[in-house]
Structure 1
């Protein structure tokens, strides 16, 4: 396990909390691989959100519950770097019927977390 990976993972969790949200779960794909005789780079999915923001959206548009809470991927890369990525949700939520200005807030929140950890970049994936 790379210290850089752990530092990036910690920075992501800290950014989530500083944004007023909570970490609900952490899925450790590398651990599951090891437990089944396989190997992969450190790969975690952090599940996070804020019920005050997500609940009203799920009440108005129940299918958004399939994609909430939000998730961010932290993966160890070659050279002791880490990648941080997320799926932008605004377009998905708009297609489900969420108003554009509300849907856009989810992407803004995700981008702010990743930008805080990795710096400004035009895509949903950052190397750190």
Structure 2
């Protein structure tokens, strides 16, 4: 395989890359030091999960988010190699058994992976069933 995938390892590196990676049409980041500290604590408590993607033993992509019940709230992802964040997302969907993934922000990238918007009422109903 071109990539190797690991779950719940290298969280500190993943959030660092999510915080510092250059993003098209974006300046700055919402992931400040307080957010890093909060998500790190939640990760240690088991509420934040991450998927790491490696190429030749080097971390090249990944994502992290809050996991509650059958719901994964995606917080951020990064890619240093073509398609590596897509590989992380597909792994999350295929192997981690979440019934609902909240991508939070609609984007062409996420739509290309099959994401779609749902009405607020349906979202709240899903949360009530899955949390």
TM-score (norm 2): 0.30
Larger radius of gyration: 1
